[in-house]
Amino acid sequence: MISVATIGSVQPQGEQALHVPWLTLLVVLAGIAVLMLIIRGLGFFLAKQHPVPTLKPAASIPPPSPVKKAPGYVLDPQTVAAIAAVISTVIPKPFGILKIAPTPEKQDYSIEALMQIWSMEGRRQIYDSHRIR
């Protein structure tokens, strides 16, 4: 048996190193039981004070409004000429413009969506780093 003594410690007498009187143990356990009963009673009291609302059937939902098509987007000839000039500068080969459409309205991305994009990019980089040998 290894015994470690510190300053001011008293060595236990006999074989019972952790001698706890039974009466003290019973008082502590009874106190814990009473505390648990008080918490449970408080829970029942609060549950009666705040009943769960019952769900009512939804009122008749109005039919969806018909989808309105956006009016055709018309560009002035100067803008089309400017776009063609930019493309001819970038692409030296002959080309043809099939369609010029406006970009969609600015989308406000949520933080969750941006974090999902970053996590997908991280996964892609990890998968790209795996090489078959």
- The token pair that represents 27 in the structure block: 């008082």
65: three-class secondary structure by DSSP:
coil
Is residue 40 in a domain?
yes
Provide the residue range defining the domain that includes 30: 24-51
Is residue 31 in a domain?
yes
Phi first, then psi: give them for residue 20, nearest 5 degrees: -120, 125
* Residue type present at position 4: V
How many Å separate Cα 15 from the centre of its chain? 55
pLDDT for 66: 67
Is residue 38 in a domain?
yes
How many Å separate Cα 74 from the centre of its chain? 43
The pLDDT tens digits for 9-57 are 665 555 555 677 889 899 999 999 999 999 999 999 998 888 777 767 6
Is residue 42 in a domain?
yes
- The token pair that represents 128 in the structure block: 């790209």
Of 64-73, 96-105, 106-115, 121-130, where does mean pLDDT reach its minimum?
Answer: 64-73
Average pLDDT, the chain: 78
pLDDT for 26: 92
Is residue 36 in a domain?
yes
Is residue 100 in a domain?
no
- Looking at the structure of the chain, the number of domains it has is 1
- How many CA atoms does the CB half-sphere of 32 hold within 13 Å? 5
Whether residue 3 contacts residue 17, with contact meaning beta carbons closer than 8 Å, is answered with no
Is residue 81 in a domain?
no
How many Å separate Cα 111 from the centre of its chain? 10
The pLDDT tens digits for 107-127 are 666 777 778 888 888 888 888
Is residue 99 in a domain?
no
